[in-house]
Amino acid sequence: MPHRSLKLAKLRLRATFLSAVLGGSVAFAQDQPPPGPFSGGRADPYFPRATEAQRFPIVNQPAPPPKLGNFSEEPEEAPLPGFREPVLRQAAAGEDQANAARRDALNELGDRFEPGKIVARVGDQVVLYGDVASLVDQDLVGSRDKITNKYQLAELNTYREQRIRAITLQLAEKKLQYVEFRRTLAEKAGERAVEAEKDINKNVKNAFDKGLEEMRVKMDKATTRQEIGDLMATDIVLPRLALLMKENKLETPAQLDEHLRTFGSSLAKQMAMFKEHNLGQSAVIEKIKKQPEVTHADMLEYYRQNADKFAVPAKARFELLSVYFSRSEGRTEAQKKAAANNQIRSMGNAVFFGTPFAEVAKKFSHEANAPFGGQYDWISKGSLASEKIDAAAFSLPLKRLSEVLEDERGYHIVQVLERSDARQIPFEEAQKEIKEKIKKERRDAKIKEVLESLKEATPIWTIYDEEAEQEAARQAAKPTTTR
């Protein structure tokens, strides 16, 4: 009998435990995460709905093992509920050294000349290959870090060579303007030319220091590629240096100088370039005679002839997360697509459960604007290469995460921030802009005339001239076909 009583007590205890468990499950249902972003009220919006056998979809859903870009640091805060922390593969013993050697091989740049090679000559001024290459390499740091194979390296080197050619011509033209400044200074100052140049150098240093500080403030406020691009167009030196300091968290001139030396440049070289650019530019502007005033009739005629330029298309600002098939793990296309699918859904869940969109984009997204938080600033309808993303940007409700979109490159999630409708800017609203455009067109035309006259007086030679002549000869020698 005692044994039977003991068994009955155990059965009552089990029944009480099961009752408590069932009661707990009812209470748990009241604390579920908020509804998914598009439908169904799912707790885990970017993964498939669980089967009946799965009681807790988030817990039972197997954690995906994507390779998320180059991110290798653990987050400072614990992941939010429901966000699967990405599985990052740990390097095996001895693998780090092998990978380092491989990265070094992939970072080899195809330099055609030694740094001290003269690639352009303008009067008594020269342009060195090292000075040109350092400017180009400063802009390509991010691209070099993403190289994973020899084909990407070859493509980068081709683009780098094209940029070096273009910058060589640009610097040669800046030298031409600086030669003209020195000639004008010698004429005006006469015997005091040397002393006048010393005074100018002092003023240039002050202008450089002040200008760099002001540009750093502007660059810190710039958050989109468009804003940064607009700043980069204002000067050949200061915006680039300000961006280097921002991206590399440099605070002092000494730190900037040390960083520039890794590219074969220095702060002194950058200051010299700033000096030549600004003094040369002042010499050209001085030669431009005062332009006639822009009349109301000029502006009205410009508006009528360029009405299409004042037709504003529909525009949108949006954020984008992307995972490319080409950068996902897997031996087959199917494996890469599966890995990419898991990765984009984990990223979408991270944003849905509270991680800032920009933070996820910077750490894990593959698309070009990822370093800027995945933000796209006021793009026009039909301007994007991906039709799926373009359509989503102009159809989704504002500030709502899209479903996972697929195109030929990979998977994407879009969130639209703002949208504006298409419209025609009236003449009254456009007058100020039109006046500035006419002034700029007239000024640019006059500057072009001045530069052409300077080239006749001081010819420019570059190391690429002979290649250009040979290419022109080859094109001319090609047989013409007639229909």
Question: What b-and-e string marks burial along 255-294, b requiring 16 or more CB atoms within 10 Å of the CB?
Answer: ebbebbeebebebebbbbbbbbbbbbbebbeeeeeeeeeb
CB 319 within 8 A of CB 414: yes
pLDDT tens for residues 102-117? 444 444 666 778 888 9
- Reading the block at residue 50, the tokens are 């669980």
Could you tell me how many helices (H) and strands (E) the chain has, helices first? 17, 9
d(CA 28, CA 289): 80
Considering the domain architecture, whether residues 325 and 376 belong to the same structural domain is answered as yes
Domain boundary among 421, 443, 465: 421
User: Distances from the Cα of 306 to the Cαs of 159, 255, 292, 297, in angstroms?
Assistant: 35, 49, 21, 14
- The one-letter amino acid code at 381 reads K
Number of domains in the chain: 3
- Shared domain for 340 and 203, answered yes or no, is no
| pLDDT single digits (tens) 79-109 | 444 444 433 334 444 445 544 444 444 446 6
Q: Is 134 in the same domain as 263?
A: yes
Q: What is the pLDDT of residue 108?
A: 64
Cα(285)–Cα(436) distance, integer angstroms? 17
Domain region containing 322: 314-421
pLDDT at 314 over 50: yes
pLDDT at 459: 85
> What are the angstrom distances between the C-alpha of 100 and each of 16, 104, 109, 153, 328?
61, 6, 16, 16, 21
Q: What is the predicted pLDDT for the residue at 43?
A: 59
- Nearest-CA neighbor of 343 among 89, 63, 145? 63
Beta strand 410-420 with 315-324 is antiparallel
- Tell whether the model's pLDDT for residue 142 goes beyond 90: no
The pTM for the full model equals 0.57
Residues 332 and 241 in one domain: no
* pLDDT for res 438: 94
Residue 139 lies in a domain: yes
Please identify, among 43, 60, 77, the residue that sits at the C-terminal boundary of a domain.
60
463 versus 148: which is more confidently predicted? 463
